[in-house]
Structure 1
Amino acid sequence: MLNINFHEHKWALFYCAISTCGALCYGYDQIYYTGIQGMTPFIDVYGTKNSSGTAALTTSFLSLTASIIYVGELLGALLAAPINDHLGRKAVFLCASLCIIAGAVVQVADNGSEGLIILGRILIGLGIGQFTVTCVLYIGEIAPKAIRGPALMTFQLMQSCSQLVGSGVTQGTESLKSTAAFRIPMGLLALLPLLMMASLPFLPESPVWLMRKGRIEQAERSLQKIHKSTKNYEATMDIHILEEEVAKEKEAEATSTWVSLIRDPIERRKLIFACGAMIAQQINGIQFFYSYGVVFAQSIGISQPFTISLITNVLQVVAVAVSVALGNKVPRRINLLVTTVMMFFAFIIIGGFGTRKELTTGFSTAIVVFSYIVIVAFNFGLGPLAFAMASECSAGRNRNKIMSCAIVSFFLTVWVIAFTSPYLYYSANLGPMLGFVYAGSTCITLLYVWFCVGETTGRSNLEIEILFQEKVPVRQWKTHTFAVPITSVCEDEAKIAMESGLTEVEHC
Structure 2
Amino acid sequence: MGYFKAILFCVFVAFGGFLFGYDIGVISGCLIMPDFINRFGEPTGPGGAMELSSSRQSLITSLLSAGTFVGALAQALTADSLGRRASIAFWAIVFTIGVAIQAGTTYSLAQIVFGRFFAGLGVGAMSAIVPLYNGEASPKRIRGALLALYQVLIVTGLFISYCIDLGTSNLSGSASWRVPVGIQMAWGLILLSAVAVLPESPRHLLGKQKAEQARRAIAMLNNVPMNDPLVQEEMDELSEAIREENEGGKNGWIECFSHRNKLYWRTINGMMLQFIQQLNGQNFYYYYGDTFFRSAGSALSPYVIQVILGGVSVVGTIPGMYVVEKWGRRRALLIGAVWQAICAIIVGLVGHFTLAPDNTPLDQLTPRNQAGGKAFIAFAIIHVFAFNVFWGPVPWVYLGESFPLRVRPKSIALGSATNWIWNFLLGFFSPNIAAKIGSLITLIFFGMLIFGVVYVYLLVPETKGLSLEEVDEMYRSGVKPWNSSKWEPSSVHFKRLQSKEGTFAGQTTRRGNEREAELDSNLDREPVNEKSQATRPTDGA
Per the TM superposition, whether the score is higher than 0.5 is: yes
- Paired AA for residue 437 in structure 2: L
Residue 502 of structure 1: how far off its partner (Å): 5.2
Cα 1:171–1:159 shift into 2, 3 Å: same
Residue in structure 2 matched with residue 345 of structure 1 by the alignment: 342
- Paired AA for residue 270 in structure 2: A
Residue in structure 1 matched with residue 175 of structure 2 by the alignment: 180
Residue in structure 1 matched with residue 126 of structure 2 by the alignment: 131
Residue 37 of structure 1: how far off its partner (Å): 1.7
> Once structures 1 and 2 are overlaid, which stretch shifts more, 241-250 or 382-391?
241-250
- Paired AA for residue 245 in structure 1: A
Describe how 1:141-156 pairs up with structure 2 within 5 A: 141-156=136-151
Q: In 2, are the aligned partners of 1:396 and 1:465 still within 8 Å (CA)?
A: no
Residue in structure 2 matched with residue 191 of structure 1 by the alignment: 186
Residue in structure 1 matched with residue 438 of structure 2 by the alignment: 431
The CA deviation string for residues 48-91 of structure 1, in whole angstroms up to 9 with x for no partner, is 33359343321111222212211111111121111111110122
Q: In 2, are the aligned partners of 1:23 and 1:156 still within 8 Å (CA)?
A: yes
Residue in structure 2 matched with residue 225 of structure 1 by the alignment: 220
Describe how 1:38-437 pairs up with structure 2 within 5 A: 38-50=32-44, 53-228=48-223, 233-234=228-229, 235-254=231-250, 256-264=251-259, 266-294=262-290, 296-297=292-293, 302=298, 303-355=300-352, 356-358=355-357, 360=365, 362=370, 363-395=372-404, 397-426=406-435, 429-437=436-444
Residue 358 of structure 1: how far off its partner (Å): 2.2
Q: Does 1:12 align with 2:6?
A: yes
Please give the secondary structure, in 2, of the residue aligned with 1:33.
helix
Q: In 1, are the aligned partners of 2:277 and 2:391 still within 8 Å (CA)?
A: yes
Cα 1:246–1:100 shift into 2, 3 Å: same
Q: In 2, are the aligned partners of 1:283 and 1:444 still within 8 Å (CA)?
A: no
Unaligned runs of 5+ in 2: 359-364, 498-504, 509-525, 537-541
Please give the secondary structure, in 2, of the residue aligned with 1:316.
helix
Q: Does 1:27 align with 2:21?
A: yes
Residue in structure 1 matched with residue 458 of structure 2 by the alignment: 451
Cα 1:406–1:218 shift into 2, 3 Å: same
Distance 1:470 1:415 in 2: 37
- Paired AA for residue 23 in structure 1: G
Residue in structure 1 matched with residue 521 of structure 2 by the alignment: none
| Structure number with bigger Rg | 2
Distance 1:107 1:506 in 2: 55
Q: In 2, are the aligned partners of 1:73 and 1:128 still within 8 Å (CA)?
A: yes
- Paired AA for residue 387 in structure 1: W
> Once structures 1 and 2 are overlaid, which stretch shifts more, 141-150 or 105-114?
105-114
Q: In 2, are the aligned partners of 1:284 and 1:445 still within 8 Å (CA)?
A: no
Please give the secondary structure, in 2, of the residue aligned with 1:383.
coil
Distance 1:504 1:159 in 2: 37
Cα 1:56–1:365 shift into 2, 3 Å: farther
Distance 1:148 1:368 in 2: 35
- Paired AA for residue 336 in structure 2: T
Distance 1:44 1:301 in 2: 29
- Paired AA for residue 478 in structure 2: K
RMSD of aligned residue pairs (Cα, Å)? 2.8
The CA deviation string for residues 221-241 of structure 1, in whole angstroms up to 9 with x for no partner, is 222221227999442222222
Q: In 2, are the aligned partners of 1:483 and 1:503 still within 8 Å (CA)?
A: no
Distance 1:483 1:262 in 2: 27
Distance 2:33 2:291 in 1: 10
Please give the secondary structure, in 2, of the residue aligned with 1:327.
helix
The CA deviation string for residues 167-205 of structure 1, in whole angstroms up to 9 with x for no partner, is 110111112232211111100111111111234301111
Cα 1:97–1:296 shift into 2, 3 Å: farther
Q: In 2, are the aligned partners of 1:76 and 1:128 still within 8 Å (CA)?
A: yes
TM-score by length of 1: 0.89
Q: In 2, are the aligned partners of 1:35 and 1:306 still within 8 Å (CA)?
A: yes
The CA deviation string for residues 287-320 of structure 1, in whole angstroms up to 9 with x for no partner, is 2223334455456664322112111111111111
Q: In 1, are the aligned partners of 2:78 and 2:87 still within 8 Å (CA)?
A: yes
Distance 2:459 2:225 in 1: 35
Q: In 2, are the aligned partners of 1:66 and 1:291 still within 8 Å (CA)?
A: no
> Once structures 1 and 2 are overlaid, which stretch shifts more, 350-359 or 465-474?
350-359
Distance 1:485 1:174 in 2: 64
Residue 354 of structure 1: how far off its partner (Å): 3.3
Distance 1:88 1:94 in 2: 10
Distance 2:168 2:450 in 1: 39
Residue 47 of structure 1: how far off its partner (Å): 2.4
Residue 365 of structure 1: how far off its partner (Å): 4.1
The CA deviation string for residues 402-441 of structure 1, in whole angstroms up to 9 with x for no partner, is 2221111111111111111122223xx3333322222223
Residue in structure 2 matched with residue 472 of structure 1 by the alignment: 479
Q: In 2, are the aligned partners of 1:484 and 1:505 still within 8 Å (CA)?
A: no
Please give the secondary structure, in 2, of the residue aligned with 1:259.
helix
- Paired AA for residue 244 in structure 1: E
- Paired AA for residue 358 in structure 1: P
> Once structures 1 and 2 are overlaid, which stretch shifts more, 384-393 or 373-382?
384-393
TM-score by length of 2: 0.84
Distance 1:372 1:504 in 2: 47
Residue 100 of structure 1: how far off its partner (Å): 1.1
Cα 1:503–1:354 shift into 2, 3 Å: closer
Q: In 2, are the aligned partners of 1:274 and 1:394 still within 8 Å (CA)?
A: no
- Paired AA for residue 156 in structure 1: Q
- Paired AA for residue 380 in structure 1: V
Cα 1:261–1:325 shift into 2, 3 Å: closer
Equivalent residue pairs, number: 493
Please give the secondary structure, in 1, of the residue aligned with 2:280.
coil
